Amino acid sequence: MRLWHETPAFAGVTGEPGVTRGAEPKGKQMAASSVLKIGLAGLGTVGVGVLDLLAAHGELLEKRTGRRIEVTAVCARSRNKARGGHDISRFQWFDDPVALAREADIDLLVELIGGADGPAKAAVEAALAAGRHVVTANKALLAAHGVGLAEMAERASGALNFEAAVAGGIPIVKTLREGVAGNRVRRVYGILNGTCNYILTTMEREGRDFADVLKEAQELGYAEADPSFDIGGDDAAHKLAILTALAFGVTISAGDIYVEGIEAITLDDIRYADELGYRVKLLGVAVDTGEGIEQRVHPTLVPKGLPIADIKGVFNAVEVRGDFVDDLMLSGRGAGAHPTASAVVADIADVARGIILPPLGRPAATLKPFVKAPMRAHEGGYYVAMSLRDEPGQMAAVARVFADEGISINSIIQKARPADDEDKVAPVILITHETLERAMREAIKRIADEGISVGTPRTIRIERFD
């Protein structure tokens, strides 16, 4: 009850001379609604970015939302660390984020601690239980506990906003929740991890190896010391799980995602793809197949000439296909202190304006249970790179296996064998027409088992974009 009175939708014009609208708040509520008090849990790069933004644009935000937005309490691991020039001694200090969430004089908790469980979850739950709104950038938390937290927020009439959890500064959560509210969404896919996209585009542009570019990305701070969460695809999978729920109105099911990272992508793959008219991107793809939801994160060949193929460096992009709007693409910076702060503050501004919606776009109790579509039924084309023994009849053997499995070949590149190649193997690259995942797996297994190729052929999926 309390939150509602503190955030009237027309707070935006309260006190604006000559403009009165909506239900007049009573005296006491009016005073309460003039400032939106923020508790900030987590003062890492994004937390400092939020402080930067509120310092730079406090007045602008007051004009836009009708309320002053003020950080009043903070919590971080260390009280004495430098925070980008911000004097945090003017904020109420808490050592414990749960205490901040529960006890501080705040209307809204911004959770920037991270992690699916532990203090982040405890603080968010405490805030919602105490009748406070929550804004979070925590994709792991949402992917693991999003539906339960959404139910808590709905019971408490509170906001649980998480624009910054998916694709950084890109307003894709708002777009799915509001912008395409009149659509049944059939598919959503995107470049959801900036580290991977940086590595892949740098490999292509500079003709460098994966390991080499990864090392540089780590030095530049684009990749973590332990990069496996990004390059293995798990980060993108968390984001995809959240997008799936918003897009299709189903429960979040982060466990039901086929995940394949970019670790095995070679510079040769990128060069051959280029020759064949494609770029290699790590995509997260969710499709409502009619028999269930298919969720996958894997390297994908994307035809050059599609806008998503030109998304470079640390940028992210998400494409949504709705049955009325058709294809809609949003792209922008998927990470970084200021772009992420932009999303966090947009979420805060929504609360200041009284925009408080069911977190997953409809009441959590009305979400359909997630039903997984069988992955092996996926239809699409494939890129296949194999090393054939340089003997007569090997290409014929490959062609026979593919024909047996009912797979039709679209194009082939056979590379001349390097002069110094003692193994006598020739690289052959195939692009297949659409085929079933099942058939493809069988063909690859046979080509390896029958000794037609040296080692197991590498495959990369080609996504249908029609």
Residues in 241-260 that interact with its own copies by CB under 8 A: 249
Q: Does 274 bind its own copies (CB under 8 A)?
A: no
- 431's CB contacts (< 8 A; 6+ apart) are 276, 381, 382, 383, 384, 409, 410, 411, 412, 462
Nearer to its own copies, 138 or 175 (CB): 175
- 261's CB contacts (< 8 A; 6+ apart) are 196, 228, 231, 232, 233, 282, 299
Nearer to its own copies, 83 or 417 (CB): 83
Q: Give the torsion sign (CA, 123, 163, 71, 13).
A: negative
Distance CA 432, CA 345 (A): 46
- 353's CB contacts (< 8 A; 6+ apart) are 7, 9, 11, 12, 64, 65, 66, 67
Tokens at residue 391, please? 């003997």
Q: Return the amino acid letter for 358.
A: P
- 430's CB contacts (< 8 A; 6+ apart) are 382, 383, 384, 386, 398, 402, 409, 410, 411, 412
Q: Does 26 bind its own copies (CB under 8 A)?
A: no
Q: φ and ψ at 106, to 5 degrees?
A: -130, 155
User: Could you tell me the smallest distance in angstroms from the CB atom of residue 16 to its own copies?
Assistant: 5
Q: Which residues pair with 281 in a beta bridge?
A: 300
From candidates 26, 64, 424, 441, binder to its own copies by CB under 8 A: 64
Q: Does 53 bind its own copies (CB under 8 A)?
A: yes
Tell me how many helices (H) and strands (E) the chain has.
Answer: 15, 17
Q: Does 32 bind its own copies (CB under 8 A)?
A: no
CB 175 within 8 A of CB 167: no
User: Could you tell me the smallest distance in angstroms from the CB atom of residue 60 to its own copies?
Assistant: 6
Nearer to its own copies, 237 or 318 (CB): 318
Distance CA 155, CA 136 (A): 18
Nearer to its own copies, 85 or 392 (CB): 85
User: Could you tell me the smallest distance in angstroms from the CB atom of residue 247 to its own copies?
Assistant: 12
Q: Does 47 bind its own copies (CB under 8 A)?
A: no
With CB under 8 A, what is the number of residues at the site for its own copies?
Answer: 88
User: Could you tell me the smallest distance in angstroms from the CB atom of residue 29 to its own copies?
Assistant: 11
User: Could you tell me the smallest distance in angstroms from the CB atom of residue 142 to its own copies?
Assistant: 19
Which residues in 175-194 contact its own copies (CB under 8 A)? 175, 178-184
From candidates 25, 39, 171, 284, binder to its own copies by CB under 8 A: 171
Q: Does 324 bind its own copies (CB under 8 A)?
A: yes
User: Could you tell me the smallest distance in angstroms from the CB atom of residue 407 to its own copies?
Assistant: 30
User: Could you tell me the smallest distance in angstroms from the CB atom of residue 259 to its own copies?
Assistant: 26
Q: Which of 121, 139, 239, 281 is catalytic?
A: 239
Tokens at residue 79, please? 């009280």
Q: Does 361 bind its own copies (CB under 8 A)?
A: yes
Query: CA 282 → CA 214, 264, 299, distances in Å?
Result: 15, 12, 4
Nearer to its own copies, 163 or 234 (CB): 163
Q: Does 22 bind its own copies (CB under 8 A)?
A: yes
From candidates 97, 339, 380, 457, binder to its own copies by CB under 8 A: 339
Tokens at residue 176, please? 């799915």
From candidates 38, 357, 430, 439, binder to its own copies by CB under 8 A: 357
Tokens at residue 112, please? 């920037």
Tokens at residue 338, please? 């200021």
CB 17 within 8 A of CB 52: no
CB 242 within 8 A of CB 142: yes
From candidates 77, 79, 81, 155, binder to its own copies by CB under 8 A: 155
Which residues in 201-220 contact its own copies (CB under 8 A)? none
372 is catalytic: no
Q: Does 466 bind its own copies (CB under 8 A)?
A: no
List residues with catalytic annotation.
239
